Structure 1
């Protein structure tokens, strides 16, 4: 544990990769982070409910947490840390107080996915011996890399002559959009001058850096439940209220929600179940859906139409619908001031051979809660991408990263933080600098070719 993190980036990332835990179950992961943070030495360390208000959490799981707690205990997790995470309140915030200077936040996410990792011999985690040890769960989106970056950057800043306040958010439950909101509402997010959020890969190759994303889609996860009345399908089908039929109508009509003139919208019902037997009129149906929009307002438009569709379909078939918004996240764009600064820094980082100041994101991320909070308080925020060669896409069983990107990410983030310290206060500007806009236009044009 005394060996500097910078000298064991690969081994740390692989260790984290072997033990993925899904949203609000990151017990062993948080305990490991706390162990590493304590070894670094910080001025404040908050775990679980000390880092945020549990009432602000979204997409809280109903599953039994005990097996995950027991697995963490068996791995040697500190019992006192596990006790602080009672009820699934995972995650941590680390703070360095280093006198006068800017307040800078860094957000990294920590949860894994319910994906069975490939057992193919040509999958590097298999051949190199760091495949997930938790069956059915995998770090298939690079959050093992993100945690490694967060710890390494924290260590580097702690050992430097940095002057200011540095806050690292080790955020749980990103994959379900459940953890960004409570972190953003916490006191740790107050009065930040700058916020950096970061992701690995996303189809950008090793050696490329995207200094800031634009147009992340606002998003909501919605659970739809329809309650009907069962009956004998042969003897008296007329006595039932068919929840499955109402479900089918909901699905068909949901995809008929009109697009909007103000921008891009999305709707999808990705999971549906109903019924118990071929001769029984289904009395209950359940669907899991999502709505997205180019702006928060457009997402709200689709969400409202989706809810109306489900309730109307249920009434049509004599049933009742319950709509539960499980989680959601707003749109928040990166600030051009930070895009320009990160671009300038990344140009001088060894191993980075291409810098793109801005690019459309096209997906959703609950880091936007923190970005929105900082921007509303007058600060600046950016969500940057550090490229990596990954053999298959994110959220697939054979996802992996080029481990050269570990050092790239640390260097870009550390140098950006030090440059923010030197230049503080970075002046706000109106619109995108000409160099940023021109490069973004060139990138878009290249993508069309």
Structure 2
């Protein structure tokens, strides 16, 4: 029988119970059950909603080191065929948060069993995929009392081989915002279009015009994305649609570009409203601040990695992905890095299957970095 690394086994068990943001009740209970197996003398646990703060006290602390992991899953039907596939229908850890949690527990176990000088705060954050848990956690009294002096985190990267860590100073992940646009006109019989206000036509024009914002309103040397991923409207083929809803996302490499894009979206939507004589409402849903790696701690981490024989350090480009860890880096010096997991399927894919060998590597790297800080 194959002998499985205990933290690989933890990953597999967590993989079976993915839960959506602020619904991570089984996940929180699983984490607490594991933490109960560790020595309790130097560890203090505080619950916050479905998340956890776990402080491990150092031998003679001069600073508080923060390490954050996210814990929620996605509304995706898993298609991996794994023996430990999701037991929650329509839910999957398709962004690697099961990996993130098992790595965090491995590092926490090392820190508890091999005391370090400084205090270490482990943050198990819910709702990263939405509606966002980082910002409300930052605003808690717990975080105000236990505010780290430095904080860092990782995210799995399917496109990099196991043993590769990708990182860069400055901007790593984009500013992101959800986008929901509701149009309301006047429905009616398909044979009498002149008596209606057709929202299928209006939404079609709107999608086309939204794309002109990127090509004509954003500096070509900057970058931005508007993607409309879903359109709903109408009821049957011979009734003109009274309503339509567009759902999408906005990504920019600067807060200024995000503000500009939103101003232009509002102008375009107002124009559609006037030209098609319809009502229009915009909702930006969840908005995430950019992940910006602070120069000094990032350089220190890169220097540390370069001394490791089994780690390939890759200075990567910024990505249009979003991560609410950006809110924590806005308030606390630190960084995030990509962990190579070598999967042919990308993040948020129903067949994502990261290489579990990356778990042991990450636990070792993160633990050793904390020990030498």
Normalized against structure 2, the TM-score is what?
A: 0.89
Q: Is the 8 A contact 2:21 2:131 kept in 1?
A: no
Give yes or no for the alignment of 1:105 onto 2:66: yes
Q: Is the 8 A contact 2:158 2:354 kept in 1?
A: no
Matches of 1:144 and 1:402, distance apart in 2: 12
**Please, which moves more after superposition, 246-255 or 204-213?**
204-213
Deviations 1:355-392 (A, max 9, x none): 23554334221110111111xxxxx2110122122132
Instruction: Tell me which residue corresponds to 1:446.
Output: none
Give yes or no for the alignment of 1:392 onto 2:345: yes
1:273 to 232, 241, 250: 232
Q: CA deviation at 1:106?
A: 0.9
Instruction: Tell me which residue corresponds to 1:75.
Output: none
Instruction: Tell me which residue corresponds to 1:404.
Output: 357
User: More helix by proportion, 1 or 2?
Assistant: 1
1:34 to 4, 23, 32: 32
Q: Is the 8 A contact 2:252 2:320 kept in 1?
A: no
Instruction: Tell me which residue corresponds to 1:150.
Output: 104
Q: Is the 8 A contact 1:213 1:383 kept in 2?
A: no
Q: Is the 8 A contact 2:158 2:345 kept in 1?
A: no
**Please, which moves more after superposition, 110-119 or 265-274?**
110-119
Deviations 1:195-248 (A, max 9, x none): 1011122411111112446432111001111122222232x4333222222212
Instruction: Tell me which residue corresponds to 1:159.
Output: 113
Matches of 1:179 and 1:227, distance apart in 2: 33
Matches of 1:304 and 1:177, distance apart in 2: 23
Q: CA deviation at 1:259?
A: 4.3
259 and 214 in structure 1: CA distance in 2 versus 1, 3 angstrom threshold: farther
Matches of 1:280 and 1:159, distance apart in 2: 68
Give yes or no for the alignment of 1:209 onto 2:165: yes
Q: CA deviation at 1:31?
A: 1.6
User: More strand by proportion, 1 or 2?
Assistant: 2
Q: CA deviation at 1:348?
A: 4.5
391 and 279 in structure 1: CA distance in 2 versus 1, 3 angstrom threshold: closer
141 and 213 in structure 1: CA distance in 2 versus 1, 3 angstrom threshold: farther
Matches within 5 A, 1:164-175: 164-175=118-129
37 and 307 in structure 1: CA distance in 2 versus 1, 3 angstrom threshold: farther
332 and 268 in structure 1: CA distance in 2 versus 1, 3 angstrom threshold: same
Q: Is the 8 A contact 2:45 2:54 kept in 1?
A: yes
Q: Is the 8 A contact 1:224 1:322 kept in 2?
A: yes
Instruction: Tell me which residue corresponds to 2:48.
Output: 48
Give yes or no for the alignment of 1:116 onto 2:77: yes
**Please, which moves more after superposition, 290-299 or 170-179?**
170-179
**Please, which moves more after superposition, 155-164 or 295-304?**
155-164
Q: CA deviation at 1:414?
A: 1.2
Deviations 1:47-70 (A, max 9, x none): 334xxxxxxxxxxxxxxxxxxxxx
Instruction: Tell me which residue corresponds to 1:198.
Output: 154
Q: CA RMSD in A?
A: 2.2
Q: CA deviation at 1:119?
A: 5.1
Instruction: Tell me which residue corresponds to 1:297.
Output: 256
Q: CA deviation at 1:343?
A: 2.1
Matches of 1:224 and 1:119, distance apart in 2: 34
Matches within 5 A, 1:19-418: 19-40=17-38, 41=40, 43-49=43-49, 90-98=50-58, 100-118=61-79, 120=81, 125=82, 129-176=83-130, 178-190=132-144, 191-212=147-168, 214-215=170-171, 216-234=173-191, 236-257=192-213, 258-261=216-219, 263-349=222-308, 351-352=310-311, 354-357=312-315, 359-374=317-332, 380-418=333-371
Q: Is the 8 A contact 1:211 1:385 kept in 2?
A: yes
Deviations 1:296-329 (A, max 9, x none): 1111211222233223212321111111111111
Which of 1 and 2 has higher RCO (CA within 8 Å, sep 6+)? Answer: 2
Q: Is the 8 A contact 1:349 1:411 kept in 2?
A: no
Q: Is the 8 A contact 2:297 2:334 kept in 1?
A: yes
245 and 315 in structure 1: CA distance in 2 versus 1, 3 angstrom threshold: same
Instruction: Tell me which residue corresponds to 1:11.
Output: 9
Matches of 1:149 and 1:204, distance apart in 2: 18
SS, match of residue 370 in structure 1: helix
**Please, which moves more after superposition, 210-219 or 405-414?**
210-219
Matches of 2:209 and 2:228, distance apart in 1: 11
Matches of 2:54 and 2:300, distance apart in 1: 25
Deviations 1:166-213 (A, max 9, x none): 222211222235222212333444442111011122411111112446
